[in-house]
A and B are shown apart, each in its own frame.
Chain A
Amino acid sequence: MAAIPQDSKDWMGARLERKEDLRLITGHGKYVADIVLPGMLHAAFVRSDHAHAKIKRIDTTEAAALPGVVAVFTGDEFKDHCKSMRQPVLLPNLPAKYPLYYALAIDKVKFHGDPVAVIIARDKYVAEDAAELVVVDYAELPVVLDPEAALEPGAVRVHDDEADNEMFSMTFTGGATIEEQDKNAAEVEKIFQSADVVVKERFRVHRTGTTPMETRGVLAEWSPSDGLTVYNTTQRPHIDRLAFADILDIPAEKVRVIAPRDMGGGFGLKAPFYRESIVIAYAARKLKRPVRWIESRYEGLMNIGQERGQVNDLEVAATKDGKLLALRNRGVADCGTGQIGVYWGFVMPFLGAVEMPNAYTWNAGDVRLKVAFTNKACLTPSRAFGHFPTRFAIERAVDMVARKCSLEPADLRRKNLVPKLPYTSVTGEYYDSGDFLKVWDSLMVKADLPAFRREQATARAAGRYLGIGFGCGVELSGVASELMVPMENQPGYGAATVRLDPRGKAFIFGGDAPGGQGHETTISQIVAATFGISPEDTVITTGDTGTTPFGSGTIGARMGSYFASAVRKACDELKEKITHVLAHDLGVRATVEEFAFTNGEVIYARDPAKRKGFREIVERIIMFPVNLPEGEVGGLESTAFFEAAKPMICFNADCCVVEVDITNGNFKIQRWVTSEDVGNVINPMIVDGQMHGAIVQGLSNAIFEEFIYNEQGQQLTADFEHYKLATAADVPTIEITYASTPCPHTPLGTRGIGEGRPSAVSGALCNALCDALSLFNIEITELPIRPNVLWKKLQAAGAVTK
């Protein structure tokens, strides 16, 4: 690790090597699958082979008799001894149909992979063997898989106790009442009637998601005196703790949830509260032995990580000189069964609709959404939470408008970007700060559009098809309580405890649970810069509800926005106390601003001879609390909460350059250039890495990954042979530029970044492909986009005449 910079403030913005890395590159990380407790048992689930079927009978006799099997549980066990998964702590504050369900399926299975029984055995191989011996007698039922068909009258119902499959329906524009919404809709219709240019298209996005390299895992331990301890792969341990207590009916003080310090990625997929967690915790309590379940990739791909599946019928009205006037959208999302705690499959499409207007000014909008139950796995949150499909639609539609107006799409975008912030979008989303035009112009300098157009013309003359495409994205920087309370019934504030120890070291505790984002390093830099110490003198603990203050979790880019701000606030409170005591000791009257914390010392600025080592003054306050200023007591620990007055955002713009081979539809991404407003940067290396990863996830989603169900609702893509993730050879390198505006609403000017970042990718990619093929008037309106799709379009357009 680097030595202390000349000025300790330089820790902010330093390309510091990560504190996390040494253990991870030497094989000494501790992920959930690496934790072993004495007497630990292993769990394996029996899952439904059918997408929809009555459970007539479950015969577990043979499985239970297998040597090494300790217990076999089926759905009745959980119906009789636990509460349902539909507990208030897991319910959003939005009106929707919330299906009643238990940790294991009761009476019928509703998707391929629905958990039916669980084996608990002494050996994981034996558990798998026993799972094969469970005989389930099913009576197959007709399935409903298409979300629009699911909404038709008389459609097969996924949940017998719900009247129909319309889980959620909402109008996001016009006002709260139907009268207001109808009035607004009429006004929007008037704009469309008189507009010069109207684009109307159906945009379809497939089911795809995030899929972290580490699958889920749960290890639960029961102690009669201490209660339940659960090591859980979760981004939200404090929410989970309440859910365990409520569903298992355990007093909340007897539940501790620990998100292991090392988690192999989350990306939203580890944010919900899952049924399997209850099964494992229940088994541990019942059997009085630790029980562990490590999800297989097969189970994971079949059950979770699926998002995005949505149809958007989008209309855009514009003037002939390219001023966007109004948008009208009718979205239908394919929710699956809706059986996932906290998110219920519809919260993502809900937010996706809110975020649809993106960075453009609209005079009016009429945005509506329906979410349908189907016999598929429930949608789970995935980075670019909810707005991957709506962003694809809007970014493609903007290019289509430009084409109709015979304008350069980049020029049309710039013309319509929100020119000045703050701004409230037509769906009511608040954009707090930043400078979209600065970000855009910075991208255009780097992309050099005129040079590209010349190169494109030369290439075209030589029979080569190059294209350039743009996209942009307004993304959440943390999720404010203003949004979190209605959306998830949970708070958005950040929380951190900073404890100083007598040796001058700082211990920081946070209730969020990172999965590779580098929280330990980033936080260490903030603390080091604030106290003028070294990042090596800090220890960061996250994810343990037994030791950390309540945190809503590592979701929605909360790190740079909320957690970092809470840490800074807690440090500042300690600085107040330290300088109060030091001023007293030095016999000066001074405020905290008159002291510099730098290079391990606290220095009185008006008389630099008056100074004390950081360790000495900290030790004095903790260990020798005598002769203190009046009213002061010893000890140095502070817990701070941070909440900005309004929601906050970050912003990015993308440029993609492609070449298409029109003879076969193959395409290659030649360049990927971005411009980012990430606010003040704490560690540029980590921020770069977040952008790289997000963009490649977006590309992988747009090109390769696709969850496919057959006509019977069977999942056909539950392994990495069939659910293809992008490899290193599939994707380009990425050129990132920064055009940041410090956030005025956080103490460090930082923004939370990286979560929503994949959303702009598919639009920029497809815009580039369509630009390359503009000669043939090819428009892409569906994802995934692959060479075979382009080839078909080229054939239809008669591009290759041979």
Chain B
Amino acid sequence: MKTISVTINGEAYVETVPVRMLLVDFIREKCGLTGTHVSCTYEGVCGACTVQLNGEAIKSCMMLAAQADGHRVTTVEGLANGEELTPLQKAFKAHHGLQCGFCTPGILMNMTEFLQKNPRPTDDEIRRGLVGNLCRCTGYVHIVDAVRAAANSAT
């Protein structure tokens, strides 16, 4: 067991957890932030568990909670500013960028960082940026539309 302190969405969580606890389980089960999802067998392929660690998109099934000790995590619950959605969240709504919504939080966390680094992406760049996030419902068409629209709205 190890006592760790992780700041999630600006709130400090000090918890004693087994060393083997995955960060995704810490987020979901210790902190009750269930917007972060698990779809693959903790192999880092599906991207549903993507969060930001110190502002960088990472897969939270691929690291231990103990490794996040002293770090800053942002989850999908931390994107909107109160009622005010981010341009990317708004674009996902406006362009029907989600169906079942299971992959969506991971995609939002990944593409939020992506757009910060690539504010004017081409469609090919968006599609390549999405390869770490599997979606089974949308065929990706509306996701690409949404990311492009968010980029355009940020002028």
Chain A residues with a Cβ under 8 A of chain B: 17-18, 20-22, 24-31, 33-34, 125, 210-215, 262-265, 267, 296-298, 515-518, 685-686, 688-689, 691-697, 719-721, 725, 727-729, 731, 733-734
| Alpha-carbon gap, A297 to B37, bound state (A) | 13
Query: What are the residues of chain A within 8 A of B141 when measuring CB–CB?
Result: 688-689, 692, 696, 733-734
A27 touches B139 (CB 8 A): no
What A residues does B93 contact at CB under 8 A? 17-18, 21-22, 25
Known: A210-B136, A727-B131. A24 touches B37 (CB 8 A): no
Interface residue? B104 (CB, 8 A) = yes
Nearest CB on B from A25, distance (A): 5
Query: Closest approach, in angstroms, between the C-beta of B41 and any C-beta of chain A?
Result: 4
Q: How far is the CB of B11 from chain A (nearest CB, A)?
A: 14
Checking B41, B89, B96, B127 against A297 with a beta-carbon cut-off of 8 angstroms, the contacting residue is B41
Of the listed stretches B52-60, B63-71, B77-85, name the one at the interface; the rest are far from the partner chain: B77-85
- Taking a contact as CB atoms under 8 Å apart, the answer to whether B85 and A264 are in contact is no
Is A721 a contact partner of B99 (Cβ separation < 8 A)?
Answer: no
* Cβ contacts A to B, 17 pairs, < 8 Å: A17-B96, A20-B101, A22-B93, A25-B92, A25-B101, A31-B34, A31-B37, A33-B28, A213-B137, A214-B37, A214-B102, A262-B101, A265-B136, A685-B96, A692-B141, A720-B40, A721-B45
Interface residue B73 (Cβ < 8 Å from any Cβ of A) = no
| Nearest 7 CB-CB pairings of A with B | A27-B35, A516-B100, A264-B102, A24-B101, A696-B139, A692-B139, A728-B130
B81 to chain A, nearest CB (A): 11
- C-alpha gap A31/B39 in the complex (Å): 12
Query: Which residues of B lie under 8 Å from residue A721 when comparing CB positions?
Result: 43, 45
B13 → chain A closest CB, angstroms: 16
Chain A residues with Cβ under 8 A from B137's Cβ? Answer: 213, 265, 516, 689, 693
- Are A719 and B45 in contact (CB-based, < 8 A)? yes
Smallest distance from the beta carbon of A44 to chain B beta carbons, Å?
Answer: 13
CB < 8 Å neighbour of A31 from B102, B123, B136, B138:
B102
Q: Which residues of chain A have C-beta atoms less than 8 A from B79's C-beta?
A: 26
Partner of A214, one of B28, B100, B133: B100
Within the assembled complex, what's the spacing in Å between the Cα atoms of A264 and B38?
A: 11
Cβ-neighbour of A298 out of B41, B103, B124, B126 (below 8 A): B41
Say whether B35 contacts A28, CB under 8 Å.
yes
In the assembled complex, the CB of B78 is this many whole angstroms from the nearest CB of chain A, namely 8
- A688 near B130 with CB under 8 A, answer no
A30 to B100, CA, bound (A): 11
When chains A and B are docked, how far (Å) is the Cα of A46 from the Cα of B144?
41
- Quick one: closest A residue to B80, CB to CB? A26
Assess whether A725 is in contact with B134, with CB atoms less than 8 Å apart: yes
Could you say which residues of chain B place their CB within 8 Å of the CB of A212?
Answer: 100, 102, 136
A720 to B44, CA, bound (A): 9
Supposing A719-B43, A728-B131 touch, asked if A27 and B34 sit within 8 A by C-beta, the answer is: yes
Q: Could you tell me if B96 and A213 are in contact, using CB atoms closer than 8 angstroms?
A: no
The CA-CA distance from A709 to B35 in the complex, in Å, is 35
Q: Which of B41, B75, B140 contacts A696 (CB 8 A)?
A: B140
Across the interface, which residues of B come within 8 angstroms of A265, CB to CB?
99-100, 102, 136-137
Not counting A31-B37, A263-B100, A728-B144, a sample of 8 additional A-B residue pairs whose C-beta atoms are within 8 angstroms of each other reads A25-B85, A25-B104, A26-B89, A31-B102, A213-B134, A262-B100, A720-B41, A729-B124
Interface of A, secondary structure class, is loop
Q: B2 interface residue, CB < 8 Å from A?
A: no
Partner of B96, one of A27, A263, A688: A688
The closest CB in chain B to the CB of A17 belongs to B93
Q: Is the CB of B77 within 8 A of A27?
A: yes
Question: Measured between alpha carbons, how far is A514 from B18 in the docked complex, in Å?
Answer: 37
Partner of B41, one of A30, A262, A296, A515: A296
Q: Which residue of B lies closest to A299 (CB)?
A: B41
- Expressed in whole angstroms, the minimum distance between the Cβ of A717 and any Cβ of chain B is 12
- Specify the chain B residue showing the minimal Cβ separation from A266: B100
Cα A339 to Cα B92 in complex, Å, equals 40
Most buried by A among B80, B100, B135: B100
Residues of B within 8 A of A516 (CB): 98-102, 137
Report if B48 contacts A (CB, 8 A).
yes
Report the separation of the CA atoms of residues A28 and B37 in the bound assembly, to the nearest whole angstrom.
11
Contact between B33 and A27, CB atoms less than 8 A apart = yes
Report the minimum CB–CB distance from A785 to chain B (whole Å).
19
Cβ distance B37 to chain A, nearest Cβ, rounded Å: 7
- A689–B142 contact, CB under 8 A? yes
The one of A34, A262, A267 in contact with B136, judged by C-beta atoms closer than 8 angstroms, is A267
Bound-state Cα–Cα, A264 to B96, Å: 16
Q: Nearest Cβ distance between residue A189 and chain B, in whole angstroms?
A: 43
A30 to B39, CA, bound (A): 15
Report the Cα distance A725→B131, complex, angstroms: 10
| A681 CB to nearest B CB, Å | 14
Query: Is the Cβ of B139 less than 8 Å from the Cβ of A297?
Result: no
A733 to B123, CA, bound (A): 10
Does B6 make an interface contact (CB < 8 A)?
no
By a CB distance below 8 angstroms, the chain B residues around A33 are 28, 34, 37-38
Rounded to whole angstroms, the CA-CA distance of A689 and B101 in the bound complex is 13
**Closest residue of chain A to B126, judged by CB?**
A728
With a cutoff of 8 Å between Cβ atoms, the chain A residues found around residue B39 in the complex are: 213-215, 264, 297
Given the known interface contacts A33-B38, A692-B138, A693-B138, the answer about A26 and B102 at a Cβ–Cβ threshold of 8 Å is no
B105 / chain A contacts, CB cutoff of 8 Å: 25, 27
When each residue 85-120 of chain B gets 1 if its CB lies under 8 Å from chain A and 0 otherwise, what string results? 100010011111011111111001000000000000
Contacts of B101 in A (CB 8 A): 20-21, 24-25, 29, 262, 264, 516
B99 contact from A215, A297, A689, A733, Cβ within 8 A: A689
CB <8 Å contact, A25 and B98: yes
A45 CA to B89 CA, complexed, in Å:
38
A-contact 0/1 string along B14-48, CB 8 Å cutoff = 00001011000000100001111111110101101
Asked if B76 is at the interface (CB within 8 A of a chain A CB), the reply is yes
Nearest opposing residue in chain A for B77, CB measure: A27
Residue of A with least CB distance to B124: A729
Distance (Å) between the CB of A667 and the closest chain B CB?
17
Question: Quick one: closest B residue to A695, CB to CB?
Answer: B139
Q: Could you tell me the distance between the alpha carbons of A18 and B144 in the complex, rounded to whole angstroms?
A: 18
- With beta carbons under 8 angstroms apart, the residue of A24, A691, A720 that contacts B46 is A720
The answer, yes or no, to whether B151 is at the interface (CB within 8 Å) is: no
Query: Which of A515, A695, A727, A731 has most chain B Cβ within 10 Å?
Result: A727
